[in-house]
Amino acid sequence: MTEISAQSVKQLRNITGAGMMACKKALQETQGNMEKAILKLREKGLAEAQKKTSRIAKEGKIGSYIHFGGKVGVLLELNCETDFVAGTDEFNTLLKDLTMQVAAMSPLYVKIEDVPQDIIEKEKSFFKEQLLKEKKPPQIVEKIAEGKMSKYFKQTCLLEQTFIKDEKITIKEHIAHHISKLGENISVQRFAHFKVGEL
pLDDT single digits (tens) 57-71: 678 999 999 987 889
Q: What is the mean pLDDT of each run of 10 residues along the chain (199 residues)?
A: 76 70 81 80 62 67 90 94 91 96 95 91 84 76 81 93 93 90 89 86
Q: What's the pLDDT score for residue 50?
A: 56
Q: What's the pLDDT score for residue 123?
A: 87
Domains of the chain: 6-52 (1.10.8.10), 59-111+157-195 (3.30.479.20), 116-155 (1.10.286.20)
Helical packing angle, 6-16 and 34-52, nearest 10°: 50
3-state secondary structure the chain: CCCCCHHHHHHHHHHHCCCHHHHHHHHHHCCCCHHHHHHHHHHHHHHHHHHHCCCCCCEEEEEEEECCCCCEEEEEEEEECCHHHHCCHHHHHHHHHHHHHHHHHCCCECCHHHCCHHHHHHHHHHHHHHHHHCCCCHHHHHHHHHHHHHHHHHHHEHHHCEECCEEEEEHHHHHHHHHHHHCCCCEEEEEEEEECCCC
Report which residue type is found at 193: H
Q: What's the pLDDT score for residue 143?
A: 81
pLDDT single digits (tens) 149-168: 889 899 999 999 999 999 99
pLDDT single digits (tens) 71-90: 999 999 999 988 899 999 99
Q: What's the pLDDT score for residue 78?
A: 95
Q: What's the pLDDT score for residue 133?
A: 76
Distance (Å, rounded) from C-alpha 154 to C-alpha 87?
30
